[in-house]
């Protein structure tokens, strides 16, 4: 299995120092060059740009054979327009994407997908993190998601922790 990530997920996982959850959960992580360019923009936090300047071995930058057109998909950024077709091209890929319009397009194409909160929740299920403090770290950044999404993830985590262990 492998993950194709859009800009947002990788950006915020790096910011909260949880980016190594991606290879722990998915093995290989692939981003298109458009995502790399977005992560290197001047307005991106230094820690993210420095991380990408010396990427880990588990990260591969790979261009899709064909990107989605900006005119045809005006609501999607360049990263989403490249990550979605790249995920389609790679067998057994999970697309990690937070953008609402991008998620809708990926779902329309029946791609396996998750988002930043989904990655964190999956990591908690596997015992890699304690979800509440990590979600609190994420909420302390500029990450945007509905309070309901955070609350639902925390409720599922609490329910898992309340179940008897076998």
Domain over 2-118 is classified CATH 1.10.10.60 = no
Q: Mean pLDDT per segment of 10 residues, for the chain of length 166 residues?
A: 95 97 97 96 95 95 90 91 95 95 94 97 97 97 94 96 80
Q: In terms of DSSP H, where are the helices of the chain?
A: 7-15, 21-26, 33-39, 46-53, 78-89, 100-108, 116-125, 131-139, 147-162
Q: Is the dihedral of CA 47, 48, 50, 56 positive or negative?
A: positive
| Residue 164: per-residue pLDDT | 78
| Residue 166: per-residue pLDDT | 63
Q: Where are the domains of the chain?
A: 2-118
CB 145 within 8 A of CB 117: yes
């Amino acid at each position: 299995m492998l993950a194709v990530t859009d800009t947002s997920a990788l950006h915020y996982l790096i910011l909260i120092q949880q980016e190594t959850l991606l290879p722990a959960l998915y093995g290989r992580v692939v981003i298109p060059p458009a995502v790399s360019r977005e992560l290197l923009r001047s307005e991106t936090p230094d820690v993210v740009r420095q991380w990408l300047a010396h990427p880990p071995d588990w990260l591969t930058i790979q261009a899709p054979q064909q990107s989605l057109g900006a005119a045809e998909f005006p609501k999607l950024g360049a990263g989403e327009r490249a990550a979605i077709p790249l995920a389609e091209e790679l067998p057994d890929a999970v697309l990690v994407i937070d953008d609402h319009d991008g998620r809708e397009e990926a779902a329309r194409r029946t791609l396996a997908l998750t988002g930043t909160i989904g990655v964190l929740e999956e990591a908690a299920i596997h015992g890699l993190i304690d979800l509440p403090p990590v979600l609190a770290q994420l909420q302390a950044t500029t990450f945007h998601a509905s309070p309901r999404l955070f609350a639902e993830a925390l409720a599922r985590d609490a329910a898992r922790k309340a179940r008897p262990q076998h």
